[in-house]
Structure formats: C-alpha cells, structure tokens
Homo-oligomer: A and B are copies of this chain.
Amino acid sequence: MDIEKEKRAQVLIEALPYIQKYYGKIVVVKYGGNAMVNAELKKAVMGDIVLLSLIGIKVVLVHGGGPEITGMLSRLGVESKFIDGLRVTDAQTAEVVQMVLAGKTNKDLVNLIQSIGGSAIGLSGMDGHLIMAKKKDERLGFVGEITKVNIRPVTDLLDRGYIPVISTVGCDTEGNVYNINADTAASRIAGALGAESLISMSDIPGILADMSDPGSLIREIDIAEVGGMIAGGVISGGMIPKADCCVEAVRCGVKKVFIIDGRVPHSILVELLTDEGVGTMFISREGSK
C-alpha cells in the first residue's frame, strides 16, 4: 500500500475523537465575508457543512448579505443616506435587503448544499416569525434590534434532519421588515439553541496580539478578559462588535465561540476535526466552573 492511502486513513482515524466530541451537538456557523464572495471558497464551506452534518453534528448556517445587496441597490438606483456615518435603511432599502438575502443569497446556498448531497431548507426571520425585531434607532430606519427569537422552526428542521440556512431579515407583526446584523443574530440563535459552538467566519485569522504579526494569534480568550483587551487596543476597530457578539453568545450559554479565518479553505473542518485549531476561541472559565 502506498503511503498516500495510509495517510488518508490516518487523517480519518485522527478525526475520531473530535467526531465523538461533537456527535449530536448543535454547531451554528456564521457565514460571511470573503468565504461568501469567492465561488470556490463558498463551495468548500458548503462541503464542510454537509460533511459535519453527515457525521452527526447538527449544523445551523446563519448568513449575512454582502456585495449582492450593495450591487442590487446600486442597480436600482437606491441611494444610501448616512447619519453620523451610519447607513440609513429606509423602507425601499429594507425591501431590497429582504429580496436579495431571503430570495437570492439564501436560496443559492440551499441549492448548493442540496447539490452537494445535503438536505437544507432556507429560513428568513419571517418564517415562523423566527426573528422578531423593532427599530434600533428611529433615525436609521429599518435597522432592527432583535426583540424575540422563536427558535421552534429551527429545532423542527434539525429534528427532521435538515440543515437550516437562515437569512437575518427580521420582522414585526405590522408587516415591516428589518435589516439585522448577522453576527448579532447568530449569537442570539446559538444562545436560544443552547449550541455547543458558534463559529464565526471572518476575513482575519482571529484575534492577534499584534495586528501586524499573523503569528501572534491568540488561541483562547476568556470573555472576562475582553474588556481589558478592548481598553488595551488589542481588540479594536471592526473587531470590537465581533468580539462583543462572541461575548454575548458565551453569556447566552454557547460553550465555545470561535472566530476563524474564512479565507482559508476548510478552516471549519480544521478547527472542529483536528487538533490544530485555526482561530481564536472565546470561552468563559467562570461559566464552566
């Protein structure tokens, strides 16, 4: 037998303890950024999702939008207004967000998972009123703050063996729709599910002790340390809201929250099924006492 075959078997057998660990557990994957734009990466991520699903992990995919929304807004000539640097979501914009997220991005992902051999059903915040929301700030229009998560549609689909794919459009009972931050929604959904892990795919390697040194990746952060790391500037800029979501998720009961590099092919598999993690893990040492 050539060495190649042996290595293949070795990799599979080395994944065994990780498969045992996650068997039957819920893992929420927050999907976005480059991993969503690059077609090859997208296919790789969906392949990972299907593999995790087949080895007995209950995977929930939460996705945001991305350039497709911007593209459609520009094609429709909808101009974005900004207040204090924040984009205002008027009713027309919210409608475009809904169409693109729930109708295009979501269904394309579902179609891709199905074509690879998984079973997926797409949900928006309207389905089963999964994500109820209200205006966060009157001036920003339909930018939503989550008021309630009705998790039953997700657990019903998991029970029947589907991978729920969730677009983070919220709604209220008046017929309004809201643009919901996907990181926040993923945290809330993972919390409501009592998920084992939330994996947030981003365009950075994780939290770096020194932003300029990719080798300075911090592998594990206790959420009690996050405040200090923000104060000390280790976590800064766009990473602050992401880190806040991680903290929030851990507080809601998710055991481990990972920020991993979505630009690296199969980074989810490597993080979950090998002992060579690829990103930063947030946990609560206090919580696990």
Residues of chain A from 85 to 106 with CB closer than 8 A to chain B in the complex: 95, 98-104, 106
Complex-state Cα separation, A121 to B164, whole angstroms: 12
A66 interface hit (Cβ, 8 Å): no
- The closest CB in chain B to the CB of A155 belongs to B160
Chain B residues lying within 8 Å of A285, measured Cβ to Cβ, are: none
Complex contact A11–B12 (CB within 8 A)? yes
Complex contact A9–B175 (CB within 8 A)? no
Complex contact B117–A126 (CB within 8 A)? no
The main secondary structure of chain A at its interface with chain B is helix
* Number of identical protomers: 6
Query: Which of the four size classes fits the interface of chain A?
Result: 35 or more
**Which of A10, A12, A99 has the largest number of chain B CB atoms within 10 A?**
A12
Complex-state Cα separation, A106 to B98, whole angstroms: 11
A sample of 20 cross-chain residue pairs with beta-carbon separation below 8 angstroms, ordered by A number, consists of A1-B261, A1-B278, A8-B270, A9-B48, A12-B266, A12-B273, A13-B266, A56-B56, A72-B99, A99-B100, A103-B106, A103-B124, A111-B129, A111-B177, A114-B128, A114-B173, A120-B127, A120-B128, A121-B123, A156-B162
Chain A positions near chain B (C-beta within 8 angstroms): 1, 4-17, 19-20, 23, 44, 47-48, 50-51, 54-56, 72, 75-76, 95, 98-104, 106-108, 110-112, 114-117, 119-124, 126-129, 153, 156, 160, 162, 169, 171, 173-175, 177, 261, 264-267, 269-270, 273-274, 276, 278
